[in-house]
Amino acid sequence: MSVNPMAYEAQFFGFTPQTCMLRVYIAFQDYLFEMMLVVESVILKKLDGFPGCKISPCQIRKSTEKFLLFMKEHFDKLFSKMEEVLLQLVLNVPENVLLPEDKVHEQYPYTKEQFQALQDEIQQLQQQYRAEASAGQALQAELEEQKAVRAELEKILQWFDGLDNICREHGTSNFKESFAFLTQNSKKLQDVLKDVEKKSKRIKKHDQLL
């Protein structure tokens, strides 16, 4: 069998010529084996009509195998010649023939150097695309973070608006004055809390003495 890959022929036919020839060879070989079995069975039937014949079925089988080997050797030689002719004249795409899907190469021919330059450019564009995609993801994450911060700021502004309304209800219209008012009340509450804690400690000590 031929060892030439014949890739262009495989592209055109949809199968490798060597595969085609192998299947033909196997089909012929199977037919030859079947034919020899038929011949053997016919000989055995003919011998049954001659009671005095001294040829045994075992001898017939040996003769059949010997004849089959002889036929196979000649068949292999003939098939080798047939394969060479078919691969060269029938299953071969001439060098001057260009397949329709490869017409673009004829219109836009490129040298190896030009093709390599295109490959390098494609690789650079891919790297640039990855970098831009990574930057886009970073920007998207930053936007999400800004949205979260904006939401927190809006909550704080709403809290200040509510605080300003409370202060207005208590007669303070200026936010600074309102904040000072709240600070003073907070200090007073802290002083009251400290006083309550001191009194609580005194009561505990008095109860322990009793």
Per-residue pLDDT of 151-184, as tens digits, reads 887 887 777 677 667 666 666 555 556 566 666 6
Query: Looking at the 3D structure of the chain, how many domains does it have?
Result: 2
**Nearest by Cα to 86 from 28, 42, 173:** 28
Contacts of 60 (CB under 8 A, 6+ apart): 40, 43, 44, 47
Q: Is residue 182 part of a domain?
A: yes
pTM: 0.45
Boundary-marking domain end, from 49, 73, 100: 100
Q: Per 3-state DSSP, what percentage of the chain is helix, strand, and coil (rounded to 5)?
A: 85, 0, 15
Q: Is residue 201 part of a domain?
A: yes
In this structure, what DSSP letter does residue 171 have?
A: T
Contact 71, 36 (CB under 8 A): yes
Q: Is residue 158 part of a domain?
A: no
Q: Is residue 167 part of a domain?
A: no
The encoded tokens of residue 110 equal 């490129």
SS3 for 49-97, per residue?
CCCCCCCCHHHHHHHHHHHHHHHHHHHHHHHHHHHHHHHHHHCCCCCCC
Q: Is residue 85 part of a domain?
A: yes
Burial class (CB in 10 A: 0-12, 13-18, 19+), 17: buried
Instruction: Give mean pLDDT, residues 7-12.
Output: 80
Give me the helix-helix angle, 112-169 and 175-209, nearest 10°. Answer: 70
Boundary-marking domain end, from 77, 100, 123: 100
Contact 1, 18 (CB under 8 A): yes
Q: Is residue 155 part of a domain?
A: no
Q: How far apart are CA 174 and CA 180, in angstroms?
A: 10
Range of the domain at 194: 174-209
Q: How far apart are CA 167 and CA 72, in angstroms?
A: 113
Q: How far apart are CA 153 and CA 111, in angstroms?
A: 62
Boundary-marking domain end, from 60, 76, 100: 100
179 and 96: one domain? no
Q: For the segment 42-64, what is each residue's pLDDT rounded down to a tens digit?
A: 888 887 776 666 778 888 888 88
Q: For the segment 99-138, what is each residue's pLDDT rounded down to a tens digit?
A: 776 666 666 666 778 778 888 899 999 999 999 988 888 8
Q: How far apart are CA 56 and CA 162, in angstroms?
A: 119
